[in-house]
Amino acid sequence: MSSDASSARVRVWDLPTRLVHWALAVLVLVAWLTGGERMDIHRYAGYGILGLVVFRLYWGVAGGSTARFSEFVKGPGTVLAYVRGWRAAPSSFGHNPLGALSVLLLVILLISQIGLGLFAVDVDGLESGPLARFITFETGRKAADLHELNFRLLQAAIVLHLVAIAAYALFKRRNLVGPMVTGRDATAGLEGELRPAPLWRLALGVVIAVLVVVLIARAG
């Protein structure tokens, strides 16, 4: 990469958005590998994911401009037009209209996954989510079955996410991974500007996320 190109790299993702993204990737993997095996670790991974998702929802209304739902979620007409002209579509600054749907899908599946996990009970009645004591064994077993089923959907959505990243690299020569790591995008012709959020908003978000996790973990 020439020095000219690197000087044209513009800031796209703020640090909290990137940290949440990669922490989610790691913790979902940990939760997957420990589910049904090491329930102590699985529980902490779940609490971590809960905190990250709460923070991400908050950051979606209070964070840097490219993290905000109102900035990237578009109506069906815009999405359809984007899909039709996909090969020729100019590079989006931040999420593109189709990627926005992927973000929403992943967030919704993560929320349902956490919600079901909080109530899930194992087949023996030994291990259970922190809120399972408010429901019966059989209802908790159903929550566990749905927790398993919803995880398959989450896996499918993650595969779709990875396939989309590969498709952008292959057909549009667009590197989407690099900017999610460094925060900067070197793609030519990007139009837009990241308006970062002030530090106090980040601090408030962390406090809210930690509070929610502690309250739910203690309820059990």
User: Which positions touch other proteins (CB under 8 A)?
Assistant: 36, 119, 121-128, 132-143, 145-146, 220
Nearer to other proteins, 115 or 196 (CB): 115
What are the structure tokens assigned to 70, written together?
A: 């109102």
**In angstroms, what is the minimal distance from the CB of 141 to other proteins?**
7
In angstroms, rounded to a whole number, what is the distance separating the alpha carbons of residues 204 and 55? Answer: 10
**In angstroms, what is the minimal distance from the CB of 36 to other proteins?**
7
Overall size of the chain counted in residues: 220
Contact 171, 87 (CB under 8 A): yes
**In angstroms, what is the minimal distance from the CB of 218 to other proteins?**
10
Nearer to other proteins, 126 or 170 (CB): 126
- Neighbour count for residue 193 (Cβ, 10 Å): 12
**In angstroms, what is the minimal distance from the CB of 130 to other proteins?**
8
Contact 167, 86 (CB under 8 A): no
In angstroms, rounded to a whole number, what is the distance separating the alpha carbons of residues 114 and 85? Answer: 36
Nearer to other proteins, 23 or 122 (CB): 122
Nearer to other proteins, 22 or 134 (CB): 134
